[in-house]
Amino acid sequence: MTTWAENELMARIEGDAPMGRLMREHYWVPFAQSAHLVHGDGPLPVRLFGENYAAFRAEHGQIGFLDELCPHRRASLLLGRIEGDGVRCIYHGWKIDASGRVVECPTQTVRAEQFAARVPVGHYPVQEAGGLAWVWLGGGEAPDFPVLPFADEDLYRHWVTAQVPCSWLQGLEGSIDSVHAGVLHQTWIAASLKFAEHSNLSFALAEAPTYETESTSYGLRAAALRKTSSGQKYVRITEHLLPLVTITSTGGNTPRTGAVFVISPVDDTHHVLFFGTVGPTPHSAVTLDQIAMQDPAYVPDPLDYTGLRGAREQRWGQDRSLMTDGHFTGFGRSLLEEDAAVQTSMGPIVDRSKENLSSSDVAVAHLRRLLLEALATVEAGEIPPGSALRPGGVRLPNAREMLVDEGVSWEDAVLDPLSH
């Protein structure tokens, strides 16, 4: 059982909170879709771990990631003008380039160059991978970026962004807790069955599975096991790279097709979810409006953290008439809206000491053990699973699904995961 103290330890990420420090000091942190960083557009407001930043794409493609407030007298650089390789503050005209140097400071009339060179600017290395932009907030020289199977150059990807007003851990647990899909998302699943490439999904989700999990060098592997009528085991693997990335196979007979959940930790009570569909053909990376019935007119407002059409008093925007018409949840815009509604309904930070976990929650329970162990590992001065600081780098295997003969363990069958 999770205690209140453990709950606080896992959920809180602002300031000196140990979980926030663990994330910043050991992992690259996702903050935007690459496609949303366009040269010439205004700087992108980014919030991570309770701190505000401004990100922009410079003329030659480089991404600048700076503390939001101007080093001169603290006006927001979100108001700045993008000029060539930098951003110019509109208050007094200082210009800071994408590498974090003050390159012009017109308010300094003597020895301006020497003065500018001595001004410290909070700036952080950025890496683009798999259609997302990731930042290293851990200081020092940025470590190598992990090898992520959904970032392979030849894959097609489709990302959507959901901004959810609850703790990062509620979002992450939603990505690990695959048993909810057959209930919460059942209307979506029924609709998605018409796509042939997802034909395994019906089989995958028709009956409740048993779950087995194992710790790995990068985090956690969870297998959902179901018996087939021919006496084999159908195994669906979810891979989790601690603590922000989860991938699961949705491919049926199309290898390397899957769904990706990437959590961006905004502050103690908000997170952003990047949800991606990935595959080797445009059709296998089906767009979310196909698989999730997202209303094409629905565009999340980047400054609106609700992502939902109502607060508690409006049942988070639930449409009861839609339910009367046969929709299971009454959230018809998107399966992400269904996830956001249930996660938000728990409160900003759910009290896990009041839960009653059941046998299908084994992966969630394992994840929490892993997070607490990772905190203890760092406390002891060692490197936690999946840390970007691990010698030799980090490689996340692809998620997969397979049929395994009776008597063969799925752990043996999964030994060569990248061949799938």
For position 81 contacting ligand FES by CB under 6 A, the verdict is no
Instruction: Compute φ and ψ for 280, nearest 5 degrees.
Output: -80, -10
For position 73 contacting ligand FES by CB under 6 A, the verdict is yes
317: left (phi over 0), alpha (psi -120 to 50) or beta: left
Nearer to ligand FES, 93 or 310 (CB): 93
Q: Which of 339, 343, 378, 400 binds Fe ion (CB under 5 A)?
A: 339
When CB distances are held under 5 to 8 angstroms depending on the partner's kind, the choice from ligand FES, Fe ion, none that residue 72 binds is: ligand FES
Nearer to ligand FES, 108 or 216 (CB): 108
Q: Which of 70, 98, 241, 399 binds ligand FES (CB under 6 A)?
A: 70
Output the CA angle 297-300-306, nearest 5 degrees: 130
The CB-of-102 to Fe ion minimum distance in angstroms stands at 45
CA distance to 69, 188, 214, 247, 248, per residue, from 191 (Å)? 47, 5, 33, 22, 20
Q: Are 64 and 53 in contact, with CB atoms under 8 Å apart?
A: no
| Residue owning tokens 């297998």 | 223
Supply the Cα-derived Rg of the chain in whole angstroms.
22
Instruction: Compute φ and ψ for 270, nearest 5 degrees.
Output: -145, 145
The CB-of-341 to Fe ion minimum distance in angstroms stands at 10
Nearer to Fe ion, 63 or 205 (CB): 205
When CB distances are held under 5 to 8 angstroms depending on the partner's kind, the choice from ligand FES, Fe ion, none that residue 339 binds is: Fe ion
The CB-of-119 to ligand FES minimum distance in angstroms stands at 11
For position 173 contacting Fe ion by CB under 5 A, the verdict is no
List residues bridging with 32 in a β-sheet: 133
- Residue 67 CA to residue 74 CA, distance in Å, equals 10
The CB-of-135 to ligand FES minimum distance in angstroms stands at 22
Name the nearest CA neighbour of 334 among 203, 179, 205, 164: 164
Nearer to ligand FES, 88 or 221 (CB): 88
Q: Is 382 exposed, middle or buried (0-12, 13-18, 19+ CB in 10 A)?
A: exposed
DSSP character at residue 59: T
When CB distances are held under 5 to 8 angstroms depending on the partner's kind, the choice from Fe ion, ligand FES, none that residue 227 binds is: none
- Residue 415 CA to residue 238 CA, distance in Å, equals 14
- Residue 52 CA to residue 73 CA, distance in Å, equals 16
> By CB under 6 A, which span of 67-75, 136-144, 210-218, 302-310 interacts with ligand FES?
67-75
For position 68 contacting Fe ion by CB under 5 A, the verdict is no
Residues of span 257-276 touching Fe ion by CB under 5 A: none
Q: Are 173 and 370 in contact, with CB atoms under 8 Å apart?
A: no
> By CB under 5 A, which span of 58-66, 85-93, 334-342, 380-388 interacts with Fe ion?
334-342
- Residue 238 CA to residue 347 CA, distance in Å, equals 27
State the number of binding residues for ligand FES (CB under 6 A): 9
For position 119 contacting ligand FES by CB under 6 A, the verdict is no
- Residues near 70 by Cβ (< 8 Å), separated by ≥ 6? 76, 77, 80, 89, 91, 94, 96
The CB-of-94 to ligand FES minimum distance in angstroms stands at 4
Q: Is there a cis peptide before residue 146, judged by omega within 30 degrees of 0?
A: no
Instruction: Map residues 84-103 to x or -, x wherever contact with ligand FES holds by CB under 6 A.
Output: -----x-xxxx---------
Q: Which of 36, 47, 72, 309 binds ligand FES (CB under 6 A)?
A: 72
Instruction: Map residues 191-230 to x or -, x wherever contact with ligand FES holds by CB under 6 A.
Output: ----------------------------------------
Nearer to ligand FES, 79 or 402 (CB): 79
User: Both tokens of residue 61?
Assistant: 């493609």
DSSP character at residue 413: H
Nearer to ligand FES, 93 or 393 (CB): 93
Binding site for ligand FES (CB under 6 A): 70, 72-73, 75, 89, 91-94
Binding site for Fe ion (CB under 5 A): 339
